[in-house]
Amino acid sequence: MDIQTIKHRFSIIGNTYSLNRSLDIAIQVAPTDLSVLITGESGTGKEVFPQIIHQFSSRKHAPYIAVNCGAIPEGTIDSELFGHEKGAFTGALSDRKGYFEVANKGTIFLDEIGELPLSTQVRLLRVLETGEFIKVGSSKVLKSDVRVVAATNLNIPKAVKEGKFREDLYYRLNTVPISMPPLRERQEDIYLLFRKFAQDFAEKYRMPPLRLDAGAQQLLKSYRWPGNIRQLKNITEQVSIIEKERQIGADILKVYLPRNDEQMLPALYTDSSKKDQGFSSEREILYKVLFDMKKDMTDLKKLVFELMQTSGDSSSLQKDNALLIRKLYEDQEIDILQHQASAHTSATVSSSGDSEIQDTEEFIEESLSLEDKEVELIRKALDKHSGKRKYAAQDLGISERTLYRKIKEYDIN
């Protein structure tokens, strides 16, 4: 049979080269027992090709079973495909044959093969390689002579890299690949499909068929059709039922075409290498301040703990702690210098304006001695816990014995 006869038999509309090429591959591979993997976007008509392969094979008089792998729950998929024994799980009240046992000598079409769980993929690989399988809850090995045709709208090589699909199963299924072109790549076929659907719905609902003017035809061809043939069929049915006029223009047809302009806009570019980035809300600013405070407190606790384990001499500090001290008090030293400069400026201006007025502001420089800081923290901890050394030591992160030694060493009352 030639391609045009096959198209008429299976209601395939279109003359695009990519469509004819896919049909030609299906016809050539049909007499063999090779596994076939059909790929393409959802709604491109992948489900027709397994029927063609089955009808032109030596298995055409044997069973043909189509299984939607994405519609079967993960917990029962093994039972559906390979069967189960009575009592294998809750609800297994009797033995059940699986699809591979029922379709012996025939063809199984596994639609949405990319949705199979990894455990089921292992079982499927064994069937494809040896023809053997085991029912759920059984230890008996059964054999089945089945031709497998699979289809998916997923990017299987990408799923393999992400660990969601077995690489060995992919190569076993992909013995003969068939790719279905999306509708947007078949522009010359779009109006032919519309006329076919319009005629079918006119007969179904007993009304005159739709006709499109030149503007509507051009709009039909220029639309991207993300839902492919399925979307075109649905829109044709909507217009056939809702519109009273049988002559459809571009302004009417545009109402039924979903606007995807927002989804087609380019993504905004942001330079992630910039260190100083703005915040989208005040909440993010608050979170950043809190996280910085928490980090500073953690660093300070680490420093105090190191001091408590030493004799209090700064020379025994580790090098990284010296850098930590510098970081902790760097901002504070900057504030002190700025304050001193401001005070000096104020005093200069005051003396130049009136010699009798003197600046009485006195700046008391905060002590940066590690020993003084240690004494101050110990006093605060003791005051907080009313002089109870046990709880003060726990708060400081040191042992009670170390705290007692520090109190005696610094003569803290």
Of 163, 181, 199, the residue that ends a domain is 181
In this prediction, residue 363 carries a pLDDT of: 46
Alpha-carbon distance 393 to 211, whole Å?
89
Whether residue 241 lies inside any domain: the answer is yes
Of 160, 181, 202, the residue that ends a domain is 181
Whether residue 329 lies inside any domain: the answer is no
Residues 252 and 188 in one domain: yes
C-alpha 304 chain-centroid distance:
44
| pLDDT of 247 above 90 | yes
Residues 62 and 16 in one domain: yes
Short-list 138, 147, 27, 162, CA closest to 89: 138
Whether residue 342 lies inside any domain: the answer is no
CATH number at residue 75: 3.40.50.300
Percent of the chain surpassing pLDDT 70: 78
Residues 42 and 104 in one domain: yes
| pLDDT of 353 above 60 | no
Residues 59 and 135 in one domain: yes
- pLDDT-derived band of residue 261, with 50, 70 and 90 as boundaries? very low
Residues 45 and 127 in one domain: yes
- pLDDT-derived band of residue 270, with 50, 70 and 90 as boundaries? very low
How does pLDDT run across 74-115, given as a tens digit for each residue? 889 999 999 999 988 888 889 999 999 999 999 999 999 999
In this prediction, residue 406 carries a pLDDT of: 83
Whether residue 101 lies inside any domain: the answer is yes
Whether residue 292 lies inside any domain: the answer is no
Structure tokens at 373: 């800081």
| pLDDT of 267 above 70 | no
* Lowest-confidence pick of 205-209, 223-227, 335-339: 335-339
CATH number at residue 218: 1.10.8.60
What is the model's pTM? 0.62
Domain count, the chain: 3
Structural domain for 383, as ranges: 370-410
Residues 119 and 155 in one domain: yes
Residues 71 and 143 in one domain: yes
| pLDDT of 405 above 50 | yes
Q: Give the number of other Cβ atoms within 10 Å of residue 186's Cβ.
A: 23
| pLDDT of 5 above 80 | yes
Residues 79 and 131 in one domain: yes
Structure tokens at 411: 């003569």
Short-list 63, 69, 95, CA closest to 81: 69
Alpha-carbon distance 280 to 167, whole Å?
43
CATH number at residue 386: 1.10.10
3-state secondary structure of 152: strand
Short-list 186, 147, 178, 168, CA closest to 63: 147
Whether residue 126 lies inside any domain: the answer is yes
Of 226, 256, 286, the residue that ends a domain is 256
Q: Give the number of other Cβ atoms within 10 Å of residue 194's Cβ.
A: 24
Q: Which is more confidently placed, 141 or 367? A: 141
Short-list 397, 405, 25, 327, CA closest to 180: 25
- Cβ atoms of 210 and 240 within 8 Å: the answer is yes
Short-list 134, 110, 112, CA closest to 122: 134
E-strand stretches of 90-220: 107-111, 132-134, 141-143, 147-152, 176-179, 211-212
Residues 192 and 176 in one domain: no
Q: Which is more confidently placed, 159 or 408? A: 159
- Cβ atoms of 106 and 59 within 8 Å: the answer is yes
How does pLDDT run across 16-28, given as a tens digit for each residue? 999 999 999 999 9
Mean pLDDT of the chain: 83
* DSSP-derived pairing of the beta strands 64-68 and 36-39: unpaired
Residues 132 and 220 in one domain: no
- As a whole number, mean pLDDT of residues 360-369 equals 54
- pLDDT-derived band of residue 330, with 50, 70 and 90 as boundaries? low
Whether residue 141 lies inside any domain: the answer is yes
**Contacting residues for 209 by C-beta, under 8 A, at least 6 apart:** 195, 198, 199, 201, 202, 240, 246
Whether residue 233 lies inside any domain: the answer is yes
Residues 189 and 135 in one domain: no
Residues 34 and 170 in one domain: yes
Alpha-carbon distance 394 to 397, whole Å?
5
